Amino acid sequence: MSEDIGPADNSGSGPIRWITTGDINGFFGLMVDNLTVMALMAGFLINIFKFPAEIIYTKMLPGTAFGVLFGDLVYTYMAWRMAKKTGNSNITAMPLGLDTPSSLGIVFTVLGPAFLAYKAAGMDEMAAANMTWYLGMATMVNIGIIKLVFSFFGKWLQRVVPQAGLLGSLSGIGLALIGLLPMLEIFKLPIIGLLSLGLIFYTLVAGIRLPKGLPGVAVAVVVGTVLHYLLPPSLLGGNIHELKVSFQGGLPIPRLDFLKAYSDSLVYLPIAFPFAILTVIGGVNVTESARVGGDEFDTRQILLTEAIATLLAGICGGVAQSTPYIGQPAYKAMGARLGYTAMTGLFVGLGGIFGYVSFFVKLIPAGVLAPILVFVALDIVVQAFLATKKEHAPAVALAHVPTLARLLAIKYQGFIFGPDAWKQQLKPTAEGLSETQVIVALGNGFILTGMLWGAFLAELIDRRLLRSAGYLMVLAALTIPGIIHSASPEGSMYNPMNLDADAVLVPKLFALGYFALAGLFIALSFTPESKEAPDPNAGHGGHFG
């Protein structure tokens, strides 16, 4: 690596320079993004689900960080190769890091619930934690394989998957899980939590600069953390004398332990699939964005790299997928070139191995990290509506509903009926399926359900009734084996012929309902009215008629 540190050469000619002033700035931005995601994942697993910290620091994070190390180094090499081939020293490497929505989504939809379920099944804490780790690895392997396959069909996928469905299902996670659950942590420590939240809102939501240009996220974390250790316990503060400098890390060694939970991971395929597809489409978008800025990376190579990085992370113990970041033009504008991705990959990868990531996680209380997560949730929800056509807003909103059902199912199981008694509610009544049956079925496979609900409604809004009917038939087909709308409390797939008389009504009636609606739309597609231009006021005027 060159020691020549100085301003970026914007002329596009001259020798390739590995580190410029812009690379230093880019490194800090990209590095903080990745460390924040790992800190949030670890913090919420420990504080919300009471997951053993040792497993996270010594097993989960090293493999997760290794995926970032591999991906960023490959992207650095791709940029160097392009610069050498074209003679253009103005090339900026594609940034890669942990995908925030899916990383946090995995915590709240796979790792946390699975850990509680393993304990409820009679495992002791450490056995349940290890099985959860194996499950997380297997889920990453599944996501990596899905991404690997669709890397060859990225642009086709971008065309055929309606954004309303894909972003709407993700928005539901943002609203109901990534937004709500961290808010509980904030109000557990109201003074430091609300002060940190206020600083995040002030700088990131309202867009108001702090004096001297101080970074809002860093100030919020520092202020909240300092107050936590200075406030007395009566104000829910901590104790500064309990602070200890300790690093916990581990080697990201390839292992086959994920096979021990691979059958369990199949239950979570309806969650893994949309998360994988989201980053594939995102990879296509960011490559196009870089191309507009003058850096013509090969889309397939970008997608294959992120797929292999995720697959390697899973095999080495990781539990979060990596993805190319949308900010490549921003890093280019700040003068970053090749060095910032190499430095980030090395810093993050070594952080997982030597354990200094664990120090930051232990230092910062959950109530201080939670406001960052609330901002991420708000940003996800807002982008879901802004990035889609305004006519598709109802489809985005509809895609939220399955996630809300999943949240209710979690509360039903844990608080309303209790972990065992609630299963007695999974029986039909004289009026039809019971409310609990419906909530559980709507919540199982909620991400994939939300994506398909948003897709069928978006197609309907666009007067493509046959396509809409096609999505409904896909919903019906996935319902029958329990890929979505599973009648099982655990959300597992099954042969419907093996279900008892009460449970089999769920796939039977749900699938028939979807098929019936698909038939209705097919019939209506032959009417002249269905071919009329959409009413621009439909769904937005607050009236019927």
Q: How far is CA 317 from the centre of its chain?
A: 18
Residue 314 neighbours by CB distance under 10 Å:
27
> Do 45 and 63 touch, CB atoms closer than 8 A?
no
User: What's the rounded mean pLDDT across residues 345-355?
Assistant: 90
132 in the same domain as 193: yes
pLDDT tens digits for range 251-305: 899 999 999 999 999 988 888 988 898 889 888 888 888 887 789 999 999 999 9
Query: Residue 168 above 70 pLDDT?
Result: yes
Task: Give the per-residue pLDDT at 213.
Answer: 78
Give the span between the Cα atoms of 282 and 324, in whole angstroms. 8
DSSP assignment of 290-312, as one string?
Answer: HHHTT----HHHHHHHHHHHHHH
Cα 308 to Cα 135: distance, rounded to the nearest angstrom? 19
> Helix or strand or coil: residue 387?
coil
Same domain assignment for residues 146 and 295: yes
Task: Report the SS3 class of residue 1.
Answer: coil
CA dihedral 491, 40, 347, 259 (to 10 degrees): -20
Q: Comparing 89 with 464, which gets the higher pLDDT? A: 464
Q: How far apart are CA 26 and CA 32, in angstroms?
A: 10
Any alpha helices (H) in 334-423, and if so which ranges?
339-354, 356-363, 366-386, 393-398, 401-411
**Are 401 and 507 part of one and the same domain?**
yes
Over residues 102-126, mean pLDDT: 91
Q: pTM for the complete prediction?
A: 0.77
Instruction: Quote the pLDDT of residue 509.
Output: 94
At position 333, the amino acid (one-letter code) is A
* Per-residue pLDDT, 363: 79
Burial 189-203 (b: 16+ CB within 10 A, else e): beebbebbbebbbbb
Largest CA distance in the chain: 79
| Same domain (yes/no): 441, 332 | no
H or E stretch covering 323: strand 322-324
Instruction: Give 273's contacts (C-beta < 8 A, 6+ positions apart).
Output: 146, 448
The pLDDT of residue 16:
74
pLDDT (0 to 100) of residue 60:
95
**Is the pLDDT confidence value at 414 over 60?**
no
User: 418 — phi, psi (to 5°)?
Assistant: 100, 160
Confidence band for 372, pLDDT divided at 50, 70 and 90: confident
Helix pair angle (401-411, 435-443), 10° resolution: 120
| pLDDT of res. 392 | 93
Q: What is the mean pLDDT of residues 466-494?
A: 91
User: Does some domain include residue 381?
Assistant: no
- What is the residue range of 54's domain? 21-160+182-372
Which pLDDT score is estimated for 542?
Answer: 43
Nearest to residue 328, comparing CAs of 368, 365, 370, 291? 291
Domain assignment present for 15: no
- What pLDDT sits at residue 214? 79
Question: How confident is residue 240, by pLDDT bands cut at 50, 70 and 90?
Answer: low
**Does 406 share its domain with 345?**
no
Mean pLDDT within 164-188: 80
Give the pLDDT mean for 202-209: 87
In a shared domain, residues 108 and 220: yes
Q: Which residue type does 520 have?
A: L
Judged by DSSP in three states, 464 sits in: coil
- Is position 176 within any domain? no
Q: How many percent of the chain have pLDDT more than 90?
A: 42
Q: What was the pLDDT predicted at 142?
A: 97
> How high does pLDDT run on average in the chain?
85
- Is residue 52 situated within a structural domain? yes
Query: Do 367 and 394 have their domain in common?
Result: no
> 3-state secondary structure string, 479-506?
HCCCCCCCCCCCCCCCCHHHCCCCCCHH
Give the whole-angstrom CA distance, residue 344 versus residue 212. Answer: 26
Non-local (6+) Cβ contacts of 21 within 8 A are 5, 6, 7, 8, 335
Q: How many domains does the chain have?
A: 2
Q: Is residue 63 part of a domain?
A: yes
- Kindly write down the DSSP assignment for every residue of 77-112, as one continuous string: HHHHHHHHHHT-TT--PPPEEE-HHHHHHHIIIIIH
Shared domain for 236 and 355, answered yes or no, is: yes
Residue 241 above 70 pLDDT? Answer: no
Average pLDDT, integer, range 238-242: 63
Residue 170, H or E segment: helix 163-173
| pLDDT band at 114; cut points 50, 70, 90 | very high
- Residue 498 above 60 pLDDT? yes
Q: Which of 538, 514, 541, 523 is nearest to 449 (CA)?
A: 514
The verdict on 261 and 334 lying in the same domain is: yes
Residues 395 and 343 in one domain: no
Backbone angles phi, psi at 455, to 5 degrees: -70, -45
Same domain flag for 355 and 456: no
Residue with tokens 């993004």: 33
388 DSSP assignment: S
> String of b and e for 224-261 (b: at least 16 CB within 10 Å)?
bbebbbebeeeebbbeeeeeeeeebbbebeeeebbeeb
pLDDT value, residue 468 = 96
Instruction: Assess if residue 147 is contained within a domain.
Output: yes
CB 78 within 8 A of CB 70: no
**Residue 324, beta-bridge partner list:** 96
209-227 pLDDT per residue, tens: 889 877 787 788 889 989 9
189 or 489: whose pLDDT is higher?
189
Please list, in sequence order, all residues whose beta carbon lies within 8 angstroms of the beta carbon of residue 446, skipping any fewer than 6 positions away: 169, 172, 270, 402, 403, 405, 406
d(C-alpha 9, C-alpha 20), whole Å? 9
The more confident residue out of 267 and 475 is: 475
Q: What are 25-59's pLDDT values in tens digits?
A: 788 778 877 887 888 898 889 888 999 999 999 99
Q: What is the mean pLDDT of residues 315-320?
A: 96
Q: Is residue 542 part of a domain?
A: no
Residues 70 and 112 occupy one common structural domain:
yes
Stretch 235-240: mean pLDDT, rounded? 72
Instruction: Give the confidence band of 434 by pLDDT, cuts at 50, 70, 90.
Output: confident
Domain boundary among 312, 338, 372: 372
Distances (CA, A) of 318 to 67, 277, 347, 372: 8, 19, 17, 23
In a domain, 39, yes or no: yes
Q: Sorting pLDDT into bands at 50, 70 and 90, what band is 245?
A: low
Asked if the model's pLDDT at residue 244 lies above 70, the reply is no
| Residue at token pair 């004289």 | 430
